[in-house]
Amino acid sequence: MQQLEPAKQLFPFQVEDWGNTEYELAFEKQKAYVRDRIDGKRSDTLVYTEHLPVYTLGLRRGAEAHLIWDETALSEKGISVHKSNRGGDITYHGPGQLTCYPIVNLEKLRDLHAYLRIMEDMLIQIVSHFGLKADRREGKTGIWIEKRKIAAMGVAVKSWVSYHGFALNANNDLEPFSGIVPCGIVDGTVTSLKKELGFPVDLNEVKDVVSQAFLDNFKKYLT
């Protein structure tokens, strides 16, 4: 796990970069952080990671049916499959995609739907930093550029401490999304900052933008 440089720690929350991680190990580490946050042994923490290739299944009914590739294809592509206790459908995580896990006390908010709406506002702000116009789509989760999904969300809370979070497609390969019906999308596609801009982005810059946007949108709810 690599810590961000001290100059970037000027936030009322901790920022950690776990680098490349196996999803299951990162999930266990999240749960440990949640327990520590509930027990007052840890402050609010914003975690960044890039998962090794994995499809994760959320709690939405029918999520398993949206896995298209069979075991042979999954093995050939080197993609694992894990069930998760986050909300939402099936999605893909992989290198070049920034996955962010806010492990924060939401006692001041106590409204999961409001938390998701604020997170959507934050993601729109982040994407706009790169000169792209993103928005919500009625009846659908995540953030979109027209009918192209650029960020997915799935959260959970325990004793009003949040975990899981969002995944922003930055420089990641989009081909694995063809092995699933991502987030149950049947009338749209998936995109990335790289695809929309025509060139790769600096992930360190993206992390800086996310940290500032998180502060802008959640400062009054942090404890």
Kindly report the length of the chain. 223
Give the confidence band of 2 by pLDDT, cuts at 50, 70, 90: very low
pLDDT tens digits along 77-115: 999 998 888 877 888 999 999 999 999 999 999 999 999
What is the DSSP code (8-state) at residue 85? Answer: S
pLDDT tens digits along 180-193: 786 556 667 899 99
Locate the domains of the chain by residue range: 8-221
Q: Which residues contact 11 (CB under 8 A, 6 or more apart)?
A: 46, 211, 214, 215
Active-site position among 47, 122, 143, 183? 183
**What percentage of the chain's residues is helix, strand, coil (to nearest 5)?**
35, 30, 35
183 annotated active-site? yes
pLDDT tens digits along 118-150: 999 999 999 999 999 999 998 888 999 999 999
Half-sphere exposure of 130 (CA within 13 A, CB side): 29
The residue type found at 135 is: D
- What's the pTM value of the predicted model, to 2 decimals? 0.89
What percentage of residues in the chain have a pLDDT greater than 90? 72
pLDDT score of 5 more than 70: no
Secondary structure of residue 129 in the 3-state scheme: helix
Name the CATH topology of 8-221.
BirA Bifunctional Protein; domain 2 (3.30.930)
The residue type found at 159 is: S
The two beta strands, 14-21 and 54-57, are: unpaired
Tokens at 164, concatenated: 């899981």
